[in-house]
Structure 1
Amino acid sequence: MTALREVAAHIPPTVPLEALSERLGLTTLQTRIFRRLHGLERIAVGDGESWGEMLLAAASGLRALGPAAERVRYVIAGRTIGFAVPRDQQPLAEVAEKLGLTGAVTFSVTELACASGLFAVDLAGRLLEADGDPDALALVFSGEKAFTPSIQHAPETTIMGEAVAACLVGADGASDRVLSYATSTHGEFYREQDDPAVAVAFREIYPGLVADIATEAVREAGLGWDEIQLILPHNVNKVSWVQVAKLLGLPLDRIYLDLVPVYGHCFSADPFLNYLAARDAGRLTPGRPYLMVTAGLGAVASAMVLCH
């Protein structure tokens, strides 16, 4: 059974939302709406840091990685954006080499937008299980650079932050075991970024898609909502999670939203950033299940139930 053996993150300094308004072409009214309605106050911005440097910094926080370097079989990046660097650059492979992971297969997964991080964890577990070596591990990265204004600003939805999470994944383990993984793709919304009418339609059905995939993951884990201690969401905004909570019939405090005003929406890294913050705040109890859930443009919704 797939397990998160250890999670670490690199989070650059944050800036007030207003500091990005000119860069993103936001009006005063748009900025005020993002702050007051969507709950975005500060955004993590890694100016001066490359994606490779952020990956290396996140992995350096994994205490178990150094002693276990020879056991790492895969280095996987779950990417929201399909292109990261020019074709002649290989930052992921360079990071693996610097970490001493010379025997690992290194690759990225894309096309699931901000749901790529959860998919990468599930894929890592399945690859490790198929290999049959109980000691083998995978290093999974999520999060990336928002290197253009059009990538950093999702109109009427969110502002992207820059942070990277690193997960050491095993085929099994005693803690943070994956109990279920559910995902669904809704290709009718693939033109969301290009067609305003499609974007509006997606925003209207979005809370239902998220609620449905979350419910499916809980059901596949053989659990009920009363057994799920906490939901660790992607930090797209607060208003959408208010709607999801209503559809699920759950109080809003069952959804961990503390980081929405702190870092912004850090691509597919959000659930793992929330995991670290919730764990350190004592919001996760050993032996209790919790849910990670995320959705991406295009549109993909994914959820994963784990036991702390």
Structure 2
Amino acid sequence: MYIHTITSLVAANLTALPALAEKYAWGERNTKIFGRFHRMESASLFEREALPDLIMRLLQQFKAECDPVLFGRIGYVAWAHSLNCPSPFDLVPVLASDLRTFLGRPELEFFSVSQASCASALVGLKFLNAKLTAAHARQDDVCGLLITGEKCFHETVQYVDQNGYFGEAFCATLLSVNPSPGTLRVGAVHVQQLAAYGTRTRSTDRESENAYDHAFIPTMLETVHTALQYAGRRPQELRTLIPYHISPPTFDRIADGAGFARDIIYRRHLYELGHCFCSDAFLNLKSLLAHRDNAIAVHPILAVASGIAGTFAAMVLELNNEDET
């Protein structure tokens, strides 16, 4: 499977750390942790725009950036989000109707993926890969559209004590089984779960949290190694690690444990956007491709994600060359 286009929607004016501290009333201790230890600076927030409006705004921009031929072939749309409650395709039928009209395909199929929390985007990627592979076997030349991101709906999910805070940024990613020059080839996607923590979104205790913290790094490293194995790559071959925007020091530990250099961690947005739910990987991928120096190798690329309820995911990507089309 190949990634052809990534369109991102980020707030034009980022909300600075002091304003976030006042908004969330998280106290001086957390401000020091976020500012001095994590070096976090700001977050992307859309204070006044509603979620359905933001999705349509994203898609208008996506249409302008997408190959018109591929745009006309979109047959599947998956929206990956972290929270279980917001589901515009189910609860706002007019959005589904508007999207069918916008894409010009009345037979369009919609899916919402949320069961893996902030790792849901990579689960959605695997799901769309299965749908597109099956369509290709039927000689149905269709593309998939993965929408990621949501709003900070509720105070209890707006920041994670001492580890990070949430932002609002959205991505629309076009997927196909057919390559073209400059696309990203998805070499492997691996997802695994710690089922014992499936209740963390509704109930937890200190003993469980401590156990989760101890299991986190070993499980993420296992997920990374398995994804690399599926892709036929060694850790030393990686040229870029795409993090998600929670606890930046965590990725130094992942690098050390997995056996690749810390300097391949892509940090351009790590401190300024906040953790944008399922969008982090795609926001960073778009930025990496837009700002890369052609003289410097950027792939193979490893992107990782984890969900609060114990889902861990990793994918390996490589840039497609013209002679591979």
Q: Is the 8 A contact 1:115 1:300 kept in 2?
A: yes
Compared with structure 1, are the counterparts of its residues 29 and 275 closer, same or farther at alpha carbon in structure 2 (3 Å cutoff)?
same
**Match of 1:184, as an amino acid?**
Q
Q: Give per-residue Cα distances to partners, 1:13-67, cap 9 Å, x unaligned.
A: 3111221223323001111111222232101101111112222232233322644
Q: Give per-residue Cα distances to partners, 1:210-230, cap 9 Å, x unaligned.
A: 222111101111111222211
Q: Give per-residue Cα distances to partners, 1:166-187, cap 9 Å, x unaligned.
A: 1011123142111111110101
Q: Give per-residue Cα distances to partners, 1:63-113, cap 9 Å, x unaligned.
A: 226443431111110111111168642465155235234331112011101
**Match of 2:258, as an amino acid?**
L
| Equivalence map 1:213-224=2 (5 Å) | 213-224=223-234
Q: Does 1:299 align with 2:315?
A: no
**Match of 1:58, as an amino acid?**
L
Q: Does 1:274 align with 2:284?
A: yes
DSSP-derived class of the 2:268 partner? coil
DSSP-derived class of the 1:9 partner? strand
| Equivalence map 1:1-308=2 (5 Å) | 2-12=1-11, 13-62=13-62, 63-64=65-66, 66-84=68-86, 88-90=91-93, 92-97=95-100, 99-101=102-104, 102-132=106-136, 133=139, 135-174=141-180, 175-193=183-201, 194-197=203-206, 198-282=208-292, 288-308=299-319
Q: Distance in 2 between matches of 1:94 and 1:28?
A: 47
Q: Distance in 2 between matches of 1:49 and 1:222?
A: 44
Q: Distance in 1 between matches of 2:107 and 2:84?
A: 25
Q: Is the 8 A contact 2:81 2:118 kept in 1?
A: yes
DSSP-derived class of the 1:245 partner? helix
DSSP-derived class of the 2:272 partner? helix
Count of residue correspondences: 307
Q: Distance in 1 between matches of 2:94 and 2:307?
A: 24
RMSD between superposed Cα atoms in Å: 2.1
Q: Distance in 1 between matches of 2:293 and 2:312?
A: 24
Deviation at 1:266, TM superposition (A): 0.4
Q: Distance in 1 between matches of 2:98 and 2:34?
A: 35
Compared with structure 1, are the counterparts of its residues 118 and 203 closer, same or farther at alpha carbon in structure 2 (3 Å cutoff)?
same
**Match of 1:33, as an amino acid?**
I
Compared with structure 1, are the counterparts of its residues 35 and 122 closer, same or farther at alpha carbon in structure 2 (3 Å cutoff)?
same
Q: Greater CA deviation, 83-92 or 32-41?
A: 83-92
Identity %, equivalent residues: 22
Deviation at 1:281, TM superposition (A): 2.0
Q: Distance in 2 between matches of 1:294 and 1:9?
A: 18
**TM-score, normalisation: structure 1:** 0.92
Deviation at 1:231, TM superposition (A): 1.1
**Match of 2:240, as an amino acid?**
L
Deviation at 1:283, TM superposition (A): 5.9
Q: Distance in 2 between matches of 1:94 and 1:241?
A: 41
Deviation at 1:121, TM superposition (A): 1.5
DSSP-derived class of the 2:4 partner? strand
**TM-score, normalisation: structure 2:** 0.88
Q: Is the 8 A contact 2:78 2:147 kept in 1?
A: yes
Deviation at 1:286, TM superposition (A): 7.6
Q: Distance in 2 between matches of 1:32 and 1:155?
A: 12
DSSP-derived class of the 1:59 partner? helix
Compared with structure 1, are the counterparts of its residues 139 and 107 closer, same or farther at alpha carbon in structure 2 (3 Å cutoff)?
same
Q: Greater CA deviation, 49-58 or 158-167?
A: 49-58
Q: Is the 8 A contact 1:75 1:96 kept in 2?
A: no
Ranges in structure 2 where 5+ consecutive residues have no aligned partner: 320-325
DSSP-derived class of the 1:99 partner? helix
